[in-house]
Protein backbone atom coordinates (compact mmCIF):
# COMPACT_ATOMS: atom_id res chain seq x y z
CA UNK A 1 0.00 0.00 0.00
CA UNK A 2 1.53 3.33 -1.01
CA UNK A 3 2.26 5.86 1.68
CA UNK A 4 0.09 8.52 0.01
CA UNK A 5 -3.07 6.44 0.42
CA UNK A 6 -2.57 6.35 4.20
CA UNK A 7 -2.45 10.14 4.32
CA UNK A 8 -5.47 10.39 2.06
CA UNK A 9 -7.44 8.09 4.33
CA UNK A 10 -6.49 10.12 7.39
CA UNK A 11 -7.51 13.33 5.67
CA UNK A 12 -10.79 11.78 4.58
CA UNK A 13 -11.54 10.66 8.13
CA UNK A 14 -10.67 14.12 9.41
CA UNK A 15 -13.05 15.74 6.93
CA UNK A 16 -15.87 13.33 7.82
CA UNK A 17 -15.36 13.86 11.56
CA UNK A 18 -15.31 17.63 11.11
CA UNK A 19 -18.53 17.57 9.11
CA UNK A 20 -20.24 15.29 11.63
CA UNK A 21 -19.17 17.52 14.52
CA UNK A 22 -20.59 20.57 12.77
CA UNK A 23 -23.85 18.77 12.10
CA UNK A 24 -24.23 17.64 15.71
CA UNK A 25 -23.89 21.17 17.05
CA UNK A 26 -26.26 22.63 14.44
CA UNK A 27 -28.94 19.98 14.89
CA UNK A 28 -30.55 21.59 17.92
CA UNK A 29 -30.69 25.00 16.21
CA UNK A 30 -32.44 23.80 13.06
CA UNK A 31 -35.77 24.06 14.84
CA UNK A 32 -35.46 27.85 14.83
CA UNK A 33 -35.21 27.88 11.05
CA UNK A 34 -37.77 25.19 10.30
CA UNK A 35 -40.20 25.53 13.23
CA UNK A 36 -43.35 26.20 11.19
CA UNK A 37 -42.43 23.63 8.57
CA UNK A 38 -41.92 20.97 11.24
CA UNK A 39 -45.29 21.79 12.82
CA UNK A 40 -47.09 21.47 9.48
CA UNK A 41 -45.21 18.44 8.18
CA UNK A 42 -45.39 16.30 11.30
CA UNK A 43 -48.74 17.63 12.53
CA UNK A 44 -47.38 18.61 15.95
CA UNK A 45 -48.81 21.28 18.19
CA UNK A 46 -46.60 23.87 19.88
CA UNK A 47 -46.83 21.94 23.15
CA UNK A 48 -45.85 18.64 21.54
CA UNK A 49 -42.84 20.15 19.79
CA UNK A 50 -41.87 21.89 23.03
CA UNK A 51 -42.01 18.57 24.89
CA UNK A 52 -39.95 16.92 22.16
CA UNK A 53 -37.28 19.63 22.35
CA UNK A 54 -37.31 19.38 26.15
CA UNK A 55 -36.69 15.63 25.90
CA UNK A 56 -33.85 16.33 23.46
CA UNK A 57 -32.34 18.81 25.92
CA UNK A 58 -32.53 16.35 28.83
CA UNK A 59 -31.02 13.60 26.67
CA UNK A 60 -28.20 15.92 25.62
CA UNK A 61 -27.51 16.83 29.23
CA UNK A 62 -27.39 13.18 30.27
CA UNK A 63 -24.92 12.43 27.46
CA UNK A 64 -22.73 15.53 27.85
CA UNK A 65 -22.19 15.46 31.60
CA UNK A 66 -20.52 12.01 31.81
CA UNK A 67 -18.41 12.81 28.76
CA UNK A 68 -16.87 15.83 30.49
CA UNK A 69 -16.57 14.44 34.01
CA UNK A 70 -13.06 13.90 35.32
Q: List the chain domain ranges.
A: 1-33, 35-70
In the chain, % of residues over pLDDT 70? 86
Among 49, 44, 57, CA closest to 31:
49
CA–CA dist 20, 16 (Å, integer):
6
CA distances from residue 39 to 5, 25, 47 in whole angstroms, order as listed? 47, 22, 10
Angular region, 10: left φ>0, alpha ψ -120 to 50, beta rest: alpha
The model's pLDDT over 15-43, given as tens digits with 9 standing for 90+, comes to 888 888 777 777 777 778 888 898 899 99
Segment 48-62, tens digit of pLDDT = 988 988 998 898 888
Amino acid sequence: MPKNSIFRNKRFVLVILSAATGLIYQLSYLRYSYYDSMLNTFGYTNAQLGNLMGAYGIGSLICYVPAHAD
